[in-house]
Amino acid sequence: MLDVIGAPSVDALFADVPAGALLSAPIAGLAPHASEMAVERHMKRHASRNLVAGEVPFFLGAGAYRHHIPASVDHLIQRGEFLTAYTPYQPEIAQGTLQVLFEFQTQVARLFGTDIANASMYDGSTACWEAIAMACRVTRRGRAVLSGGLHPHYAGTAATMARFAGDALELLAPELSPEADDAAVIAALDGETACVVVQYPDVFGRIPDLAAIAEAAHARGALLVAVVTDPVMLGLLEAPGALGADIVVGEGQSLGVGLQFGGPYLGLFGCNEKFVRQMPGRLCGETVDADGKRGFVLTLSTREQHIRREKATSNICTNSGLCALAFSIHLSLLGGEGLARMARASHANARALAQALAAIPGVSVLNSAYGEEFTVLLPREARGVVRDLAARGVLGGVALGRLFPGSAGLHHAVVVCTSECTTPQDIAALAEALTEILHGAAA
């Protein structure tokens, strides 16, 4: 090969690198190559030091949800033709990926009750910021109101971006009340507001009245951005789009993707069709080929960075394609009735959990209504309780003190979550461990 190239050595091909910067030996202090079995052994040692959710009583949610994923999902996403393909830039040989994206967009739009949806964002939190940025473009306003029930990581992401983009965010204070903060959201609206951002159900598991908020927002010329962190709940609850939300974003991880310690996840983004040219991210559209056969292509790319550069609607390029495939397969296996059944099963387990926990002296349930997730008030600071539960092999929820370190009034509360995977034994184990921690073994 060097003869064809006409170079004396491989290092000669690095001639443009400044002499002082080209390394002549492997970087000191780094290990040399290793065999497959050695690497596997090393990585398994790391893996063994983590407490696996599926092996213990598990009640964590707060933006990442553990639902049952049918075995065929992971099998199918490992088809090499899906796993090792690139973004479908050559549509003639990428119809598999493109048709999946078209089906995915349709599924998301139907689930959200929006006209259209895009081909995915990185995750729910970044999709939420993109929605705020889009609402500012659409309304030509620069102020957003964020419900106190919005996941604090989502609010934090939005705050970071707004600070640099020069937009004004009004983040409402989180309050431990049985109902969502609809009234405060509506009261914060003004004539400069581009959008209000409301999580549905919220991070405390409460369910806002989206229709009322949408009506108030629209009356002030603002958009309603609804945020769904577990789309499984839309098997039970009315679709946000049907209640008047203009943009609906969400985290799709709970369908098909799994927990994975927080990523990669799947940003969902749906909206009213009239906003299509202001949307971020890739869009797949239907067309025909030279023989008149139906086919699919990436379309409306004049919004995107590779064409529009600094005037693009987003800088996103790589998205969450394989996670979108997993989501779409899982949702196809469920169908609408299956999704509703899954949501009812999760909800039924949440009711059983609420009943068991409320029976413990000093413990009460905050929410007046909830789906699969709700807030529990404890007689003392919750972070220590959660750590004590973990020491007993129970993953017993997310302490609000971890999510809202600046809000001392929330620190004795914990948000707990169930799914169709939760068993009566799991619930009994949490109730028993919590009773012991709060009241001693004799209680």
Partner 1 sequence: MSAPNAAGWRPTMVAGTPASTAETSSGDRGLALEEALIFELATNATCGVDFDGDDVAPDPALSRFLRGAAPALPGLSEPEAVRHYTRLSRQNYAIDLGPFPLGSCTMKHNPRLNEKIARLPGFADIHPLAPAQTVQGALAVIAELADWLVALTGMAGVAMTPKAGAHGELCGLLCIRAAHEAMQGPGGQNRRLVLVPESAHGTNPATAAFAGYGVESIPAAADGRVDLAALLARLEGEAAAEVAAVMITNPNTCGLFERDMVAISAAAHAAGAYVYCDGANFNAIVGKVRPGDLGIDAMHINLHKTFSTPHGGGGPGSGPVVLSAALVPFAPLPFVARGADGAMTLIEEENAGEHHPHSFGRMAAFHGQMGMFTRALAYILSHGADGLAQVAEDAVLNANYVLRSLEDVLEAPFAAAGPCMHEALFSDNGLGGGFSTLDIAKGLIDEGFHPMTVYFPLVVHGAMLVEPTETESKAGLDRFIASLRSLALRARAGDDSLKSAPHFAPRRRLDETLAARKPRLVWRED
Window 34-93: residues binding partner 1 (CB under 8 A): 34, 36, 38-40, 42-55, 58, 60, 62-64, 66, 68, 70, 72, 74-93
Q: Least distance from C-beta 287 to partner 1, angstroms?
A: 4
Does 6 bind partner 1 (CB under 8 A)? Our answer is yes
- The interface with partner 1 within residues 321-340 (CB under 8 A) comprises 321-323, 325, 329, 331-340
C-beta atoms surrounding 242 within 10 Å: 12
Does 264 bind partner 1 (CB under 8 A)? Our answer is yes
Q: Least distance from C-beta 129 to partner 1, angstroms?
A: 9
Does 230 bind partner 1 (CB under 8 A)? Our answer is no
Please state, in angstroms and as integers, the Cα–Cα distance from residue 158 to each residue in 121, 311, 369, 404, 428, following that order: 15, 20, 28, 16, 39
Does 142 bind partner 1 (CB under 8 A)? Our answer is no
DSSP 239: P
Cβ closest to partner 1, residue 50 vs residue 191: 50
Give how far the C-alpha of residue 419 lies from the chain's centroid of Cα atoms, to the nearest Å. 17
Pairing of strands 413-417, 364-365: unpaired
Does 375 bind partner 1 (CB under 8 A)? Our answer is no
Of 260, 266, 282, 261, the C-alpha closest to 88 is: 282
Cβ closest to partner 1, residue 173 vs residue 443: 173
Please state, in angstroms and as integers, the Cα–Cα distance from residue 377 to each residue in 51, 354, 400, following that order: 25, 11, 10
Cβ closest to partner 1, residue 310 vs residue 361: 310
Stretch that binds partner 1, among 124-132, 168-176, 215-223, 428-436 (CB under 8 A): 124-132
Cβ closest to partner 1, residue 85 vs residue 184: 85
Kindly give, in sequence order, each residue whose CB lies less than 8 Å from that of residue 417, ignoring residues fewer than 6 positions away: 59, 60, 61, 62, 65, 205, 350, 372, 373, 397
* CB crowding 12-37: b at 16 or more within 10 Å, else e: eeeeeeeeeeeeeeeeeeeeeeeeee
Stretch that binds partner 1, among 137-145, 183-191, 384-392, 433-441 (CB under 8 A): 384-392
Distance CA 186, CA 138 (A): 20
Cβ closest to partner 1, residue 164 vs residue 361: 164
Q: How is residue 224 written in tokens?
A: 């309603």
Among the listed residues 190, 218, 368, 443, the single contact to partner 1 using CB under 8 A = 368
**Helix H or strand E encompassing 154:** helix 152-165
Does 391 bind partner 1 (CB under 8 A)? Our answer is yes
Distance CA 35, CA 38 (A): 5
C-beta atoms surrounding 315 within 10 Å: 10
Stretch that binds partner 1, among 139-147, 212-220, 305-313, 431-439 (CB under 8 A): 305-313
Does 371 bind partner 1 (CB under 8 A)? Our answer is yes
Does 2 bind partner 1 (CB under 8 A)? Our answer is yes
Stretch that binds partner 1, among 145-153, 169-177, 212-220, 433-441 (CB under 8 A): 145-153
Number of shown-chain residues binding partner 1 (CB under 8 A): 202
The CA-based dihedral angle spanning residues 266, 267, 268, 273, taken in that order and rounded to the nearest 10 degrees: -140
Stretch that binds partner 1, among 168-176, 184-192, 343-351, 430-438 (CB under 8 A): 343-351
Among the listed residues 57, 116, 134, 199, the single contact to partner 1 using CB under 8 A = 116
Of 71, 100, 106, the C-alpha closest to 85 is: 100
Cβ closest to partner 1, residue 137 vs residue 220: 137
Among the listed residues 8, 23, 191, 441, the single contact to partner 1 using CB under 8 A = 23
